[in-house]
Structure 1
Amino acid sequence: MIGYYFKLALHNAGRNKLITALMVLAVAVGIGASMTTLTVTHLLSGDPLPGKSDRIFYPQVDVDPGSKGREPHDVLDYRTAHDLWSAGQADRQTLVVVNPVKLRADHAGSVPLMGSSISTTADFFAMFDVPFRFGRAWTADDDQRRGRVAVISARLNERLFDGRDSVGQTLRIKDTPVRIIGVLDPWRPSPLFYKIRGGRFSGGETSSFYAVADDIFLPMSTSLDINEGDFQPFTCWAVPDNPGVLQNAPCVAVGVWVELGTPEKVASYGRYLSNYAAEQQRLGRIRHADNTRLRSLMEWLDFNQVVPSDVKVQAVLSFAFLLVCLANVVGLLLARFMRHGGEIGLRRALGASRRSVFTQCLVEAGVIGVAGGIGGLLLTVLGLWVIRSQPVPYADLIHLDVTMFMATFGLSLLASLLAGAIPAYRASSIQPVAQLKLL
């Protein structure tokens, strides 16, 4: 019977081409608008480390002596961060500081340029599954002996060395030579979780978390030597004696990430964090020993509200627009079914059940939904292309993946069936006698 209902739906669509076209257009425009914004939201709120994010945690300690015991700062002072890192209480742990650097390749004709630098430790690459094209990461030994080594991004390698294997080449960072030991494959976690801080206070600037990844990665110990005086603190509670110097500064600037493989290790690290804060309180360095946090990676992203607020507003508005489109489809379907009330009454008089009529009308609405889904898919692709052409940091991340491709058709079919339910019910409730009198 479904095959018969399908043929009947196609026949009725051909009989009322204008109404059919209007319904398909309404579904397509509503689906295109909603799926465009839904796709953007889906991509920007995704898991940057699929399969591993539940093992990555971000510890926080309230180190500000002037704190009122509310949320700790998003980053730590150098001493606290170094204490947590050197204690080795996690499976892996790494420090992260973001700072711009002036660099150039150590060969003839090279010109200086400004790049984005990450000062970190050896576990960074293994913790975050960073892919390498050439070479390798540095070792814990390099961290300890302040090795003059660096890992560079694929983008910087293309810019300085035309994409060739540059392992063994020399970079000059503030006139200090460092040897390249690794070149990354293109790597662009979305968002750049390891540098997220202050997102909920950024006044809508969270889109910067989707900018391109950093150019150069340096051992923290090496960076402290080379970039002394150039570090930019997140915030300070007193005027530092040596601005731009991390050690002993009354400022926070360093993030700490830890990898904890089991729930037992998470609980154990939480206890360690509390004990450490209590010890520092006894030493008089901090005031609120009970104000510590240990959030998972996804909890940290949620806490910082990393999806840009304008994207959220657009998603809400687009789904409101979809509801308006569906309301129009309901009216058009109702007019269409009532127009064929005589035929429906005749079918009922010949023995068709209300259920059969209801199913036939839903199949007809489903056909409209599939056609609208195809149109909505084309409009979604067009909408994503428009977004990719906009001057926003996340533009090049936008694409239609398989999940959103299937969701487009699923949503269009569901929307059309929901829109068709009321008209189908009305049509199936037609009294045969009343309609046959009009024939």
Structure 2
Amino acid sequence: MIAYYVQIALLGFRRSPGLAVLMIVIMGVGVAASMTTYAVFRAVSGNPLPDRSAQLFVPQIDSLGPQRGTPGNKIPDELTYADAMALMRARAAQRQTAIYPIADTIVPHDDAHRAFAANGYAAYADFFPMFEVPFLFGHGWSDSEDSARANVIAISRRLNNVLFGGTNSVGRMVELHGRDYRIVGVVDGWNPQPRFYDVSNGFGFADEPDFYLPFTRAVDQHLDTNGNNACSGSTKAVAPGWDGWLHSECVWVSLWVQLPDAKAVSGYGQFLRGYADQQQRSGRFHWSPQVRLSDLMTWLDYEGVVPPETWMSLLVAVGFLVVCLVNTVGLLLARIMRRAGEIGVRRALGASRGDICGQFLAEAALVGMGGGVCGLALTGLGMLGTDLLFDPAIARLARIDARLVAMTLLLAVAATVIAGIYPALRAARVQPSWQLKSQ
């Protein structure tokens, strides 16, 4: 029966091809606008580590007090160096890493390349297993190398291609900040989007980092942060220079912990509150310090990773699709009015109201399929212009994949069939006696 409905629908399109093409184009434009903006929204709002995100948490401590001066007067996103190191020494989590961004100069050990700027991170050994970092060659460093402040480095696949032509560079040396570092691993193109572990510094959608250094070595070498360094007006370094900064109340170190279950989360939350209360009792804080423990996805929401313009564009596109559907309903009704005589004859020959509904819903489904194909082509064109509406770093993340293709076709067919329900019901109510008399 479905094949019969499709056959009748195709015959109807042949009688009025212009109207059919117009409906297909309208649906294609509406679907393309929606799916193009959805592709951008999906890229910035997805879960970067779906199988691990529920175990990863960010602890925060209100170390700056009521006059902290942060945007929205929120708890600082980062920790002071003293707090981060105290929490690291406590080993209250299954895994943990302090992190801060670094920008420095790479000096190649050959004459083929000049020195160039590079961006990376200082982190602990747990960074790599915690975040499931893949390696092309080698591996991350060990806890013992953290403790020894070892001159080791993990570099990106891109940097390895530049310096060593893509060969296995493990064991070779690279110069950074005037020091030679032994390469222990080459990271295999890892750059989760958004870059959840550094959204607070504005690097959520930046290019892949070039290198990773042991946190202890970076501090030992006085490598300054390339990210936030929030110091309220009342917080002064206790001493001048690097050591004074490390012992100041300036917040600049991110901390991530891995907590495998609800019991571990509850226990770490109690530990965090106990630590903050102890700091207040010691006289360091003259206020009741707030603490916060956010899992990965909650952290991304807290940081407002999805740009407001992405939400607005998606809402506008959905509204535009609704307008296209309303127009399609009108065009389908116009087709029914033009074919009222045909419907009357079919009813007189024994077709039921269900048969008439099925016929016109089949026509709507065919329009939807055509609109989906047209929408895919227009979505591809729309991807080329996303940087006109969004930040280029965000726009380039939008891609057409098998999932988006399936969603585009499904949305086009489902939306058009839904839009065709009312016209199909109207067609089924056509009285055959009236139409035969008029003929």
Verify same fold: TM over 0.5.
yes
1:381 Cα deviation (Å)? 2.0
Choose the corresponding residue for 1:166, options 166, 169, 173: 169
1:75 and 2:74 equivalent? no
User: Counterparts in 2 of 1:407-418, with a 5 A limit?
Assistant: 407-418=407-418
Structure 2 CA distance for aligned equivalents of residues 231 and 18 of structure 1: 60
Structure 1 CA distance for aligned equivalents of residues 160 and 220 of structure 2: 24
Please give the per-residue CA displacement for 1:386-430, whole angstroms capped at 9, x wherever unaligned: 437997113443212222221111110111012111211211111
1:161 Cα deviation (Å)? 1.8
Kindly provide the amino acid, as one letter, of the partner of residue 402 in structure 1. A
1:4 and 2:9 equivalent? no
Map of 1:40 onto structure 2? 40
1:406 and 2:403 equivalent? no
1:278 and 2:277 equivalent? yes
1:45 Cα deviation (Å)? 1.0
Map of 1:189 onto structure 2? 192
Structure 2 CA distance for aligned equivalents of residues 379 and 433 of structure 1: 45
Map of 2:155 onto structure 1? 152
1:385 Cα deviation (Å)? 3.6
Please give the per-residue CA displacement for 1:191-235, whole angstroms capped at 9, x wherever unaligned: 11111117xxxxxxx6x5111121111111100122345665431
Map of 1:54 onto structure 2? 54
Choose the corresponding residue for 2:136, options 133, 138, 150: 133
Structure 1 CA distance for aligned equivalents of residues 401 and 318 of structure 2: 20
Structure 2 CA distance for aligned equivalents of residues 329 and 373 of structure 1: 14
Map of 2:216 onto structure 1? 221
Map of 2:359 onto structure 1? 360
Q: Secondary structure at the match of 1:305?
A: coil
Structure 1 CA distance for aligned equivalents of residues 192 and 161 of structure 2: 19
Map of 2:294 onto structure 1? 295
Structure 2 CA distance for aligned equivalents of residues 308 and 244 of structure 1: 36
Kindly provide the amino acid, as one letter, of the partner of residue 404 in structure 2. M
Q: Secondary structure at the match of 1:256?
A: strand
Structure 1 CA distance for aligned equivalents of residues 333 and 261 of structure 2: 57
Structure 2 CA distance for aligned equivalents of residues 400 and 232 of structure 1: 33
Map of 2:382 onto structure 1? 383
Q: Secondary structure at the match of 1:58?
A: strand
Q: Secondary structure at the match of 2:209?
A: coil
Map of 1:201 onto structure 2? none
Whether the 8 Å contact between 1:232 and 1:244 is mirrored in structure 2 is: no
1:94 and 2:97 equivalent? yes
Map of 1:339 onto structure 2? 338
Q: 1:243 to 1:128 in 2, by over 3 A?
A: same
Kindly provide the amino acid, as one letter, of the partner of residue 296 in structure 1. D
Unaligned runs of 5+ in 2: none
Q: Secondary structure at the match of 1:235?
A: coil
1:244 Cα deviation (Å)? 6.3
Whether the 8 Å contact between 2:62 and 2:291 is mirrored in structure 1 is: yes
Q: 1:314 to 1:242 in 2, by over 3 A?
A: farther
Map of 2:230 onto structure 1? 235
Map of 1:432 onto structure 2? 432
Of stretches 120-129 and 35-44 in structure 1, the one that deviates more from structure 2 is 35-44
Identity percentage of aligned residues: 38
Please give the per-residue CA displacement for 1:39-68, whole angstroms capped at 9, x wherever unaligned: 111122111112111111111111114447
Whether the 8 Å contact between 1:388 and 1:398 is mirrored in structure 2 is: no
Kindly provide the amino acid, as one letter, of the partner of residue 186 in structure 2. V
Q: Secondary structure at the match of 2:410?
A: helix
Whether the 8 Å contact between 1:71 and 1:291 is mirrored in structure 2 is: no
1:370 and 2:369 equivalent? yes
Q: 1:108 to 1:362 in 2, by over 3 A?
A: same
Kindly provide the amino acid, as one letter, of the partner of residue 411 in structure 2. L
Kindly provide the amino acid, as one letter, of the partner of residue 204 in structure 2. F
1:351 and 2:350 equivalent? yes
Choose the corresponding residue for 1:211, options 191, 206, 224: 206
1:363 Cα deviation (Å)? 1.0
Relative to the length of structure 1, the TM-score reads 0.93
Q: 1:109 to 1:239 in 2, by over 3 A?
A: farther
Choose the corresponding residue for 1:107, options 100, 107, 110: 110
Unaligned runs of 5+ in 1: 199-205
Structure 1 CA distance for aligned equivalents of residues 186 and 395 of structure 2: 25
Map of 1:265 onto structure 2? 264
1:249 Cα deviation (Å)? 2.2
Q: Secondary structure at the match of 1:4?
A: helix
Q: Secondary structure at the match of 2:200?
A: coil
Of stretches 289-298 and 23-32 in structure 1, the one that deviates more from structure 2 is 289-298
Structure 1 CA distance for aligned equivalents of residues 167 and 173 of structure 2: 14
Kindly provide the amino acid, as one letter, of the partner of residue 409 in structure 1. L
Kindly provide the amino acid, as one letter, of the partner of residue 19 in structure 1. L
Structure 2 CA distance for aligned equivalents of residues 96 and 132 of structure 1: 19
Please give the per-residue CA displacement for 1:254-313, whole angstroms capped at 9, x wherever unaligned: 010011111111111111111111111111222454511111101101111212222222
Kindly provide the amino acid, as one letter, of the partner of residue 100 in structure 2. V
Aligned positions, number: 431
Structure 2 CA distance for aligned equivalents of residues 9 and 393 of structure 1: 45
Whether the 8 Å contact between 1:62 and 1:286 is mirrored in structure 2 is: no
Q: 1:429 to 1:279 in 2, by over 3 A?
A: same
Whether the 8 Å contact between 1:388 and 1:396 is mirrored in structure 2 is: yes
Whether the 8 Å contact between 2:63 and 2:249 is mirrored in structure 1 is: no
1:73 Cα deviation (Å)? 0.4
Q: Secondary structure at the match of 1:410?
A: helix
1:248 and 2:251 equivalent? no
Map of 1:317 onto structure 2? 316
Please give the per-residue CA displacement for 1:165-201, whole angstroms capped at 9, x wherever unaligned: 2222222222122211111111110111111117xxx
Relative to the length of structure 2, the TM-score reads 0.93
Q: Once superposed, what is the RMSD of the aligned Cα atoms?
A: 2.0
Structure 2 CA distance for aligned equivalents of residues 339 and 303 of structure 1: 56
